[in-house]
Structures are given as C-alpha cells and as structure tokens.
C-alpha cells in the first residue's frame, strides 16, 4: 500500500519549508551555544554535539510528523516552544542575544503558522 503525500505548493508548502529551516536553525543554534558555553575544549565539543543531539532526539520521538510516539496538541506546541526558548536562552547566555531572539521569534511564529496554514503536518 502506498501513501501519497501532498505536494509542497502554495502557502502551506512555503510554511513547511520554513519550518524545516527553523528546525535546522534550532539544531545549529544549540550546537553553537553548546560549543561556546563549555568552558574548556572538551566541554565545548561535548556541548556542541550533545545539545543538538538531545533536541533532535526529542523532536524525532514526539514532535516530527512521523514520530513513533507523536505527542498530541497542545503538548507538541509546548515542546516546540520550550526547545526554541531553550536555544534562545543558551544563545543569549553565550553572547549571541540577537541571534537567540530571532531564532525564538521565527521558530515559535513558524510553529503557529504550521498549525494555521499547514494543518496535519
């Protein structure tokens, strides 16, 4: 049995592409913050790898559309909000305040837009 996926067209498609970009930015932001906040080379490397891996695992397990234990709404939105907020706080603590604010605002706004314009994703 094959399943057909909707084409990424129009506003819903655009919103989903932006969502994917914000997910990548979330992981990159956590990697940068983790690498800057470690205090030593070893801790910088561990933080730069471990933080995005942990966030990616949470996303893959309960937030992603094909997650094995996908959380229901509004839990999924709260998790997304928490991940983007944590990344913003970590970036701000690492000296990248503006980057953190932009990531949080765009990430949360995209999470809202997905629920409004690309329902079911």
d(CA 27, CA 34): 10
pLDDT at 2: 55
pLDDT computed for residue 99 by the predictor: 97
The DSSP element (H or E) to which 57 belongs, if any, is helix 41-58
- Domain range list for the chain: 11-117
Residue 108 has a pLDDT of 97
pLDDT score for 120: 61
The two most distant CA atoms of the chain are separated, in Å, by 52
The series of mean pLDDT values per 10 residues for the chain, 121 residues long, is 64 92 97 93 94 96 92 94 97 97 97 87 60
The pLDDT of residue 85 is 97
The pLDDT value recorded for residue 14 is 93
In this prediction, residue 9 carries a pLDDT of 80
Say what the pLDDT of residue 38 is.
84
**C-alpha closest to that of 83 among 50, 119, 46, 52:** 52
Q: What is the pLDDT of residue 102?
A: 98
């Amino acid at each position: 049995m094959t399943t057909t996926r909707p084409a990424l067209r129009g506003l819903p498609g655009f919103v989903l592409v932006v969502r994917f970009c914000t997910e990548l930015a979330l992981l990159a932001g956590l990697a940068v913050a983790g690498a800057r906040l470690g205090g030593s080379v070893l801790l910088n490397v561990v933080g730069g790898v471990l933080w995005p891996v942990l966030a990616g695992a949470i996303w893959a397990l309960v937030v992603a559309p094909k997650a094995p234990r996908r959380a229901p709404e509004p839990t999924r939105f709260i998790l997304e909000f928490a991940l983007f907020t944590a990344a913003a706080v970590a970036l701000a603590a690492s000296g990248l305040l503006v980057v953190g604010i932009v990531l949080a605002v765009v990430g949360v706004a995209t999470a809202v837009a997905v629920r409004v314009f690309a329902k079911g994703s």
